[in-house]
Amino acid sequence: MARRWFALPPGMRLPLSNGDTCQLLFPGHPGSAAGPDVLDAVLHFPWNDAPCSGAIEFHVRASDWYTHQHHSDARYTSVILHVVLV
Protein backbone atom coordinates (compact mmCIF):
# COMPACT_ATOMS: atom_id res chain seq x y z
CA MET A 1 0.00 0.00 0.00
CA ALA A 2 2.86 2.38 0.76
CA ARG A 3 4.26 1.99 -2.76
CA ARG A 4 0.89 3.03 -4.19
CA TRP A 5 0.67 5.94 -1.75
CA PHE A 6 4.04 7.36 -2.79
CA ALA A 7 3.08 7.02 -6.48
CA LEU A 8 0.06 9.34 -6.06
CA PRO A 9 0.52 12.73 -7.72
CA PRO A 10 0.38 15.87 -5.56
CA GLY A 11 -2.99 17.55 -5.95
CA MET A 12 -4.90 14.27 -6.15
CA ARG A 13 -8.24 14.23 -4.37
CA LEU A 14 -8.74 11.24 -2.09
CA PRO A 15 -12.17 9.94 -1.07
CA LEU A 16 -13.01 9.96 2.63
CA SER A 17 -15.42 7.65 4.45
CA ASN A 18 -17.83 10.55 5.12
CA GLY A 19 -18.27 11.24 1.38
CA ASP A 20 -15.94 14.28 1.28
CA THR A 21 -12.52 14.30 -0.32
CA CYS A 22 -9.16 15.55 0.89
CA GLN A 23 -6.36 16.80 -1.32
CA LEU A 24 -2.89 15.31 -1.18
CA LEU A 25 -0.35 18.14 -1.10
CA PHE A 26 2.76 16.17 -0.08
CA PRO A 27 2.90 12.38 0.41
CA GLY A 28 5.38 12.53 3.31
CA HIS A 29 8.29 10.22 4.06
CA PRO A 30 8.35 6.50 4.89
CA GLY A 31 7.99 5.82 8.61
CA SER A 32 9.89 3.30 10.65
CA ALA A 33 8.69 -0.18 11.55
CA ALA A 34 7.81 1.05 15.06
CA GLY A 35 5.19 3.69 14.30
CA PRO A 36 3.04 5.09 11.50
CA ASP A 37 3.70 4.01 7.92
CA VAL A 38 4.18 7.59 6.64
CA LEU A 39 5.45 10.69 8.43
CA ASP A 40 5.10 14.40 7.60
CA ALA A 41 2.40 14.06 4.93
CA VAL A 42 0.46 17.22 4.08
CA LEU A 43 -3.25 17.05 3.25
CA HIS A 44 -5.97 19.63 2.83
CA PHE A 45 -9.30 18.63 4.37
CA PRO A 46 -12.48 20.52 3.39
CA TRP A 47 -13.28 21.44 7.00
CA ASN A 48 -9.88 23.12 7.61
CA ASP A 49 -8.75 26.40 6.08
CA ALA A 50 -5.09 25.49 6.43
CA PRO A 51 -3.38 22.29 5.27
CA CYS A 52 -2.74 19.61 7.91
CA SER A 53 0.52 17.74 8.32
CA GLY A 54 0.96 14.48 10.12
CA ALA A 55 1.26 10.74 9.82
CA ILE A 56 -0.60 8.23 7.64
CA GLU A 57 -1.35 4.63 8.63
CA PHE A 58 -2.32 1.84 6.19
CA HIS A 59 -4.42 -1.23 6.95
CA VAL A 60 -6.31 -3.90 5.03
CA ARG A 61 -9.34 -3.52 7.34
CA ALA A 62 -10.45 -0.49 9.36
CA SER A 63 -10.70 -2.72 12.43
CA ASP A 64 -6.93 -3.35 12.25
CA TRP A 65 -6.44 0.04 13.94
CA TYR A 66 -7.86 -1.51 17.11
CA THR A 67 -6.50 -5.00 16.50
CA HIS A 68 -2.99 -3.53 16.40
CA GLN A 69 -3.73 -1.38 19.49
CA HIS A 70 -2.92 1.92 17.71
CA HIS A 71 -5.75 3.67 19.57
CA SER A 72 -3.79 3.28 22.81
CA ASP A 73 -0.27 3.79 21.42
CA ALA A 74 1.19 7.31 21.74
CA ARG A 75 3.26 6.79 18.56
CA TYR A 76 0.02 7.07 16.57
CA THR A 77 -1.37 10.33 17.98
CA SER A 78 -0.04 12.27 14.98
CA VAL A 79 -2.04 10.19 12.45
CA ILE A 80 -4.24 12.46 10.33
CA LEU A 81 -5.41 9.80 7.86
CA HIS A 82 -6.10 6.08 8.24
CA VAL A 83 -6.00 4.53 4.76
CA VAL A 84 -7.95 1.29 4.39
CA LEU A 85 -7.98 -1.05 1.40
CA VAL A 86 -11.47 -1.05 -0.10
Count of domains for the chain: 1
Check residue 33 and give its pLDDT: 86
Check residue 74 and give its pLDDT: 97
Check residue 55 and give its pLDDT: 98
Give the domain extent around 39: 2-84
Low-confidence stretches of the chain (pLDDT < 50) are none
- SS3 of 7, please? helix
Average pLDDT of the chain, as a whole number: 96
Helices (H), 1-86: 2-7, 64-67
Report how far Cα 38 is from the mean position of its chain's Cα atoms: 7
Interatomic CA distance for residues 71 and 56, integer angstroms: 14
Residue type, 83: V
